Chains A and B, each alone.
Chain A
Amino acid sequence: MTKSGVRKEGIKGTLTGWLYLAPALAFLIFFMVYPLIDVFIYSFEEGYNSASQTYFGIGGYNYSYVLRDPYFLQAVKNTFILVIFTVPVSTVLSLLIALALNSIEKLKKLFQTVYFLPYVTNTLAVGLVFMILFRKTPYTDGLINLLIKAFGMSPVDFIEGPYWAKMFVLCVYVIWIVMPFKILILTSALASVNPVYYKAARIDGASKPRMFFKITLPMISPMIFYLVITGFIGAFKAYSDAVAIFGVDLNAAGMNTMVGYVYDMLYGDGGGYPSYASAAAIILFAIVLTITVINLIVSKRTAPKG
């Protein structure tokens, strides 16, 4: 075959490749890339009116408005607290449960299923259960308060009471809802560690904790990093969790999240400030991107090679 022949073949091959990619690419461009660019443009259009599709000018006013809006600042604070508490706690708890699941022999499958059930349960249904646990009504203080009273302490209104109590419920809720997936991933990661390493470590005289920190943990660290990164992203995007517990008027409850703020700006009272919503969305995007990049750099530096 001549050189040009090879080249033609190459171009043809590339074309075929692109053709195969086309449906997915079209979908991604239409529903992901275009809206992203659009949101970016909206965020700089001042006084945009969605009915008449007009705006006054271009500038950074939307950002300065959003960044000064106390509701947004409250949402940022809530979101950060949520992220900082739920990601480490849920990951460590999941790891402990996965270790326990991995070490039992009888009924292993049953327990794995039980721990996975919350993952397939509807968010709002879980919210209902949390209501029963935490909500104070004229008839009852809620199960948790009954417990608190049993220990001789005064009951707390977790749903409409002080900020820390509400935040506590939200954190517990988020942790509880993300754990099944993490447990699933970590159980399979633990199972994938070749048992011969544990045998070798036993011969080498390693204690159980040393085996865990020196062998198990480094070997499943790629999976842990994956969970931490997706956990961060997921927690930053939390919204339905807050709605499930505190209802739709999150600003009034002081429990709004950043995504909730974006949603309220789009559809909330008065019906729509897409420019503010876009600016808030871009700020959220920038934060998530920064944190993910930092995560990746850290994981590259500490993860074991091949």
Chain B
Amino acid sequence: MDVRLEHLTKVFPARDKKGSEVIAVNDFDFTIPEGKLIGLLGPSGCGKSTMLYMICGLENPTSGKIYFGDEDVTDIPSEKRGVGLVFQNYALYPHLTVRQNITFPLENLKGAEKLTKEERNRKALEAAKLVQIDGLMDRKPGEMSGGQQQRVAIARALVKMPKVLLMDEPLSNLDARLRLQTREEIRRIQKATGITTIFVTHDQEEAMSISDMIVVMKDGIFQQMDEPQKVYDDPVNLFVAKFLGTPAINVFEADVKDKKLYIGEDMVMDKVNVKDGPVWCGIRPEGFILDENGALHCSLTGVDVMGRDTSIVSTNPKMTGLSVRSIISAEDLKLTSKDSVRFNIRRSKTLLFDKESEARIYYD
């Protein structure tokens, strides 16, 4: 079932007379294709969770429409929408066992959908097997680890076979190792069930690694939606470019003069088809080539060896962050001086943005 949002807006009223109203979600307009795993990505407080709550019906939109397939569900209460939601802190009922937690949504079915106890238990066991917790059916949530609780929460959300599965920061309460594992697990479960899944995260790595598509938002405003690699390679603006990628993109204040790109005095790239003037120049860490005769002059701060790759930390007067991080494969690492380092830059990893609007400028 594809999920279509039409001009979806949510405005929270002001808390008091002096305060101003908050626009949590501003005019969202896009379609989530059927059977895909979508990562909703943005910094904390950008309206991601509000958006999720509107899709599942816990919040009513101020304006706009939500469609599941051809059906307008905007005014349908959440219990009739056929959605499953995995809460950030799982929200498992602490006084019920795993089995009771998973069968709870089934016990609420009425009329023709009503199930016998055997059917409920069979379905619960199926869902539990899918998330591999079928051995823990009689435990209480308090007696389980975070990762196990997470699986129970997913099983509870899946047991009714929802049209859409929603997850609110599903991995944020897990430790680093479990996170990687659960990430794969979510991917596997989503592929196995084929349910359209939307998950919210502020962790770009998480979103990039498992999503079919990511939606980037900022301050309630839609930024970009595409496959993760495309968003990374081809961001529409400086915010998206900065938000994706670890280490983050290096941003310099640069100038274009006679189709040549200058960072300070250094002419780093030519054949730049952009009108003259100042621009933001973003260079991905893998966009630097170490060269003793390179165009870009930087002062060397240090070298971080991280196994396979080496990251050279340096500074440049025109940079905007704290340092310039470049990733060089270990065999290319030949430093000739202790205090300075020179790079050439890869054209494909260099992105230009408008100085005012921060929108992407295409220069080829």
Contacts and interface: CB of A to CB of B under 8 A. Distances in A.
Same complex for A and B? Answer yes
Interface of A: 194, 196-197, 199-207, 210, 214-215, 218-219, 304-306
A203 B108 contact: no
Contact of A197 (B79, B91, B108, B143): B91
A201 B57 CA distance: 13
A306 B91 contact: no
Contact of A306 (B77, B107, B142): B142
A210 to B, nearest CB: 7
Contact of A200 (B77, B85, B140, B143): B85
Given A306-B94, A306-B140, A203 B78 contact: yes
Contacts of B57: 202-203
A115 to B, nearest CB: 27
Nearest to A304: B95
B95 A203 contact: no
B108 A205 contact: yes
A204 B153 CA distance: 11
26 contacts: A194-B91, A196-B87, A196-B89, A197-B91, A199-B85, A199-B91, A201-B104, A203-B57, A203-B58, A203-B84, A203-B85, A205-B80, A205-B160, A206-B79, A207-B108, A210-B107, A210-B108, A214-B93, A214-B96, A214-B104, A215-B93, A218-B95, A219-B94, A304-B95, A305-B142, A306-B142
B85 A206 contact: no
A197 B90 CA distance: 9
A200 to B, nearest CB: 4
A200 B78 CA distance: 10
Given A203-B85, A210-B108, A197 B140 contact: no
Contacts of A214: 93, 96, 104
B105 to A, nearest CB: 4
B146 to A, nearest CB: 15
Contacts of B87: 196, 199-200
B95 A219 contact: yes
Nearest to B104: A204
Interface in B102-118: 104-105, 107-109
Interface string B48-81: 0000000011100000000000000000011110
Given A200-B93, A203-B56, A206-B104, 20 more contacts: A197-B91, A200-B87, A201-B104, A202-B57, A202-B78, A202-B79, A203-B57, A203-B79, A203-B83, A203-B84, A203-B85, A203-B105, A204-B79, A204-B105, A207-B108, A210-B108, A214-B93, A305-B95, A305-B140, A306-B143
Contacts of B218: none
B163 interface: no
Q: Which 6 A-B pairs have the closest CB atoms?
A: A304-B95, A205-B79, A204-B105, A205-B108, A200-B91, A306-B142
A204 B108 contact: yes
B156 interface: yes
Contacts of A219: 94-95
A202 B108 CA distance: 10
A201 B91 CA distance: 9
A202 B93 CA distance: 13
A214 B106 CA distance: 14
A201 B87 CA distance: 12
Interface string B144-173: 000000000000110010000000000000
Contacts of B89: 196
Contacts of B79: 202-206
A200 B156 CA distance: 10
Nearest to A306: B142
Nearest to B141: A306
Contacts of B140: 305-306
B95 A196 contact: no
A205 B105 CA distance: 6
Contacts of B56: 203
A299 to B, nearest CB: 14
